Structure 1
């Protein structure tokens, strides 16, 4: 499991290599929740997926992403909100082996 460093911001973009995959993660706070877009090699894997506590973000192997991403509330069981991203709410990458 690998922690992905994030800042408390309503909107941000992070470029990171995860298991030899060139990833771009975009995060956006909207009135209805905190949302994620994921790109690998500039190709969209998923877009506009709501971030929920301890729920896998990608979920489906056919999308072409090896592993998965998950937000974890380190102080309870709430869904992430922008002002505590990177502190209370941490984003983790899990390899396919760690998910099984």
Structure 2
């Protein structure tokens, strides 16, 4: 299994584009009062909308979407769910590719 760290900034709302498994993936990461959420776009098609981000819990949960892996947030200092102010430091977003 190949693991890639996705660089995030400690801001309440951000969008970034990354190439994963030779596919363009857009990530929208945003903080709400109820937690941190993630939208995932694959080749300009939204495949995940409003997924709650939790420590060590895969975000996508669906191989049939064709992403070829899953996103997982990791708390490097404990076991808390991620919050925007710790992104890129305490909370790290990883992509775990399958089949490689």
Query: Which of the five TM-score ranges fits, normalised by the shorter chain?
Result: over 0.9
Which residue of the partner structure matches residue 16 of structure 1?
A: 18
CA distance in structure 2 between the aligned counterparts of 1:62 and 1:2, rounded to whole angstroms:
20
Q: Whose helix fraction is larger, Structure 1's or Structure 2's? A: 1
- Paired residues of 2:68 and 2:99 also in contact (CA < 8 A): no
Count of residues paired in the alignment = 98
Q: Which runs of 5+ in 2 are unaligned?
A: none
Matches for 1:1-100 after TM superposition, within 5 Å: 1-97=3-99
CA distance in structure 2 between the aligned counterparts of 1:97 and 1:85, rounded to whole angstroms:
28
Q: Normalising by structure 1, what TM-score?
A: 0.94
Q: Which runs of 5+ in 1 are unaligned?
A: none
Shift of 1:61: 1.1
CA distance in structure 2 between the aligned counterparts of 1:53 and 1:40, rounded to whole angstroms:
23
Q: Normalising by structure 2, what TM-score?
A: 0.94
SS in 1 for 2:99: helix
Please report the RMSD computed on the Cα atoms of aligned residues, expressed in angstroms.
Answer: 1.0
Q: Whose strand fraction is larger, Structure 1's or Structure 2's? A: 2
Superposition misfits of 4+ residues, deviation over 3 angstroms: none
**1:12-48: CA deviation from partner (whole Å, max 9, x where unpaired):** 0010001111000000100000000000111011000
